[in-house]
Structure 1
Amino acid sequence: MNAPFADRIKIAPGFWTSLKGIGVEPIDVARKACLPLTIITEPVVTTAQYYSIWLAYSELVGDIATGIVKLAAAYKTTQYPPAALATFHARNYRDALNRMARYKQLCPPENLRIQEEGELYSIELEWQHAELSGPPVLVGITLAYLLELGRRGTGRFLKAHSVEFINYMGDVQALEGYFGCRVRTGTERNQLTLNREDLDRPFTSYNEELLEILTPSLDRTLEERQSQLTMSTKVQWILSRCLTQGKIDIHSVASELGMSERTLQRRLTEEGGSFKQLLAKTRREMAVAYLADPALEIKEVAFLIGYEDQNSFYRAFRAWTGETPANWRVTQDNWRSMLVTE
């Protein structure tokens, strides 16, 4: 189980530089996302804010596919963070992708699931916060970057075998031109499939000395963060994934954690909490995130956070915030409008 760390994402400085390089001003993105301009200089955001930034970028560019292709090619290798450098300087493409899947745990919000079968090598994109799926442009950029990594490392114009997206992605022909293969939308997964013969191609950027420095440091950081996860954090992560799947209780959560219900209760008590409190906290956080999306009806929000009827959700939300979901949504919309006009 790969549980997420605290809901904090650090935006790499190269992101803003790359935006400017393709003619998109960071200030415009921040304003479009209704976020304070300080995110450009102090870029630590929540998952929801991070997604808002990507949605804003997509809207400013105008077409999802165009935004993916432009940014994938614009990001300079010299601006990669340490975890990405460890992949760029790997021995070969396979080594780079395996390192990417491992160290991606240090860079929320996505995880990579790799499957090798026959002549194909598939990488499926999953979200650490299952209740908040990433916007299509972020999905596309992530998969494009994986192919871009191979191209830059090997010095060859590698082509994917196939690409699948769950959502509508805009100009599919532009994506097919970039990936060099058929691109399908409306599928059940976000997945990049590569030709296995490309995986053992050596990287011209291979740097053994640099890897000997970076790898131990990254491994220590990963181990330290994993050991710092509280039991409460792990429980919330499981709850966020499972609420939409039906009724969930402490017994099912304890089973997923590989411990007894009594042990889980004891661990949570030691941390000063309870399962009931964590369930309410998770539902509240998810409700606020979902209500921020005007495309979702309130009855849909109720279902997504595990309520069988809308009335139960209304009562719970009023207890959490003192407002009904509808009134809260109006208040937030008015607040955002004020920010945009300032």
Structure 2
Amino acid sequence: MRPDQIPLSRGVFERMTALGLDIAAVLRHAELPRELLMQPRACLTTAQFFALWRAIEAASDDPALGLRLGDGTRAEVYDVVSLAALHSATLGDALHKLARYKRLTCPEDISIELTHAEAAVSMRWMLADGHTPPLLVDAIFASNLALAERGSGRAIRLRRLELTRRPTVSNLLSTHFRCELRFNAAQDRIVYDRADLELPFVTHDEDHLATLMPTLEASLHELSATTSLSDKVWNVLARGMRGSHQRMAQVAAALHLSPRTLQRRLGEAGTSYQQLLDQVRHHLARHLLDATDLDTGEIAFLLGFEELNSFNRAFRQWEGKTPSRRRTATMG
């Protein structure tokens, strides 16, 4: 797993200031040092990064602030991964590069799920204990769409947004993204029309890609070599929690291992497939109980439990209470 470091460019603070935020006050609220403003490229942990976004939300009465911050990337200088995406030949190539290399710049996992008609892009913060701040989700998806439209040179009609949050009466998101919204989702996903993956990028630059790609591939190889097998299994499991029971053979195949080799190597690392599956289920169960209105039966299904009673028993083992009691206690 890469270090828990998320770089912040000076441009981030400049955009916040341009949108009327008192950066010093935001940093105080997030309990972050003011010296961050003086650093050419500050780094935060995931917990600090989330605290910063919650402080931004608390400091502003503009519900569209996340969208405006994300949309501002249409004109900013990109990091190396986003720059490689922008120089891609097509939208599909760009999304593939973001999914493949994003974790080189921060502990964010991006995955793409393809069907006959759709391309769903989901994001997950791999080292997060709490929930991703909604304002940050808005900014990430606005930035994703901004890059797609800047690269293609045209407006893109999304299929929909899927959001792990409770429904809101605001129409800001539907107005900005011009698509259907689905709340109480299992994952945060921005869904493109699959046909749009073939859209050519007017920003395509093969010479720049020839310079960037060897470095990105070498860095990815180095990261993969230092990522533990347990972390790799965790990531595969977390990506696939969408209503099907993930068997060890499926996870092993995704990691290009045999089930026996996977089982042996996990044992050598002091864990097991079942232990990791329980950890992922517990982590996602808490998130869905706290952030959505999904009933416990729906959550049990998404986590791959065949029966609600099985989910209830597992949750009692994890926390000493039923899922319903946790939700009641959390909501006060």
Instruction: Give the structure-2-normalised TM-score.
Output: 0.69
CA RMSD of aligned residues (A): 3.6
Per-residue deviation, 1:98: 0.7
Q: Distance in 1 between the 2:119 and 2:197 partners?
A: 8
Q: How does 1:44-59 map to 2 (within 5 A)?
A: 44-59=43-58
Per-residue deviation, 1:170: 5.6
Q: How does 1:202-217 map to 2 (within 5 A)?
A: 202-217=200-215
Residue by residue over 1:241-265, the C-alpha shift from the partner in whole angstroms, topping out at 9 and shown as x without a partner, is 7xxxxxxxxx9xx989964776556
Per-residue deviation, 1:215: 0.8
Q: Which amino acid in structure 2 is aligned with residue 135 of structure 1?
A: P
Tell whether 2:41 aligns with 1:33. no
Secondary structure class of the residue paired with 1:58: helix
Q: Distance in 1 between the 2:101 and 2:52 partners?
A: 23
Q: Distance in 1 between the 2:91 and 2:157 partners?
A: 13
Per-residue deviation, 1:131: 3.7
Residue by residue over 1:10-66, the C-alpha shift from the partner in whole angstroms, topping out at 9 and shown as x without a partner, is 2233322221222223322211211112333252111111111111112222244x1
- Correspondence for 1:138: 136
Per-residue deviation, 1:211: 0.5
Q: Distance in 2 between the 1:305 and 1:56 partners?
A: 34
Greater shift in the superposed pair: 174-183 or 129-138: 129-138
Tell whether 2:2 aligns with 1:17. no
Q: How does 1:157-306 map to 2 (within 5 A)?
A: 157-168=155-166, 172-230=170-228, 259=261, 263-264=265-266, 266=268
Give % identity: 27
Question: Judging changes above 3 Å, is the alpha-carbon distance between structure 1 residues 28 and 130 closer, same or farther for their aligned structure 2 residues?
Answer: closer
Per-residue deviation, 1:85: 0.3
Q: Distance in 2 between the 1:151 and 1:80 partners?
A: 15
Q: Answer yes or no: is the 8 Å Cα contact 2:74–2:146 preserved in 1.
A: no
- Correspondence for 1:103: 101
Q: Answer yes or no: is the 8 Å Cα contact 2:7–2:43 preserved in 1.
A: yes
Uncovered stretches (5+) of structure 2, i.e. residues with no partner: 239-247, 292-313, 322-332
Residue by residue over 1:242-301, the C-alpha shift from the partner in whole angstroms, topping out at 9 and shown as x without a partner, is xxxxxxxxx9xx9899647765565x5xxxxx66xxx9xxx9xx99xx9xxxx9xxxxxx
Question: Judging changes above 3 Å, is the alpha-carbon distance between structure 1 residues 177 and 197 closer, same or farther for their aligned structure 2 residues?
Answer: same
Q: Answer yes or no: is the 8 Å Cα contact 1:125–1:191 preserved in 2.
A: yes
Q: Distance in 1 between the 2:211 and 2:7 partners?
A: 22
Per-residue deviation, 1:138: 1.3
Q: Distance in 2 between the 1:233 and 1:182 partners?
A: 34
Q: Answer yes or no: is the 8 Å Cα contact 2:161–2:182 preserved in 1.
A: yes
Secondary structure class of the residue paired with 2:120: strand
Per-residue deviation, 1:171: 6.3
Q: Distance in 1 between the 2:22 and 2:177 partners?
A: 27
Q: Which amino acid in structure 1 is aligned with residue 26 of structure 2?
A: V
Instruction: Give the structure-1-normalised TM-score.
Output: 0.67
Q: Distance in 1 between the 2:98 and 2:168 partners?
A: 27
Q: How does 1:77-96 map to 2 (within 5 A)?
A: 77-96=75-94
Residue by residue over 1:220-241, the C-alpha shift from the partner in whole angstroms, topping out at 9 and shown as x without a partner, is 1111122123568769x68x97
Question: Judging changes above 3 Å, is the alpha-carbon distance between structure 1 residues 305 and 132 closer, same or farther for their aligned structure 2 residues?
Answer: farther
Q: Answer yes or no: is the 8 Å Cα contact 2:84–2:97 preserved in 1.
A: yes
Q: Answer yes or no: is the 8 Å Cα contact 1:172–1:183 preserved in 2.
A: no
Uncovered stretches (5+) of structure 1, i.e. residues with no partner: 242-250, 269-273, 296-302, 311-342
User: Which has more radius of gyration?
Assistant: 1
Q: Distance in 2 between the 1:170 and 1:265 partners?
A: 45
Q: Which amino acid in structure 2 is aligned with residue 10 of structure 1?
A: P
Q: Answer yes or no: is the 8 Å Cα contact 1:90–1:206 preserved in 2.
A: yes
Question: Judging changes above 3 Å, is the alpha-carbon distance between structure 1 residues 260 and 186 closer, same or farther for their aligned structure 2 residues?
Answer: closer
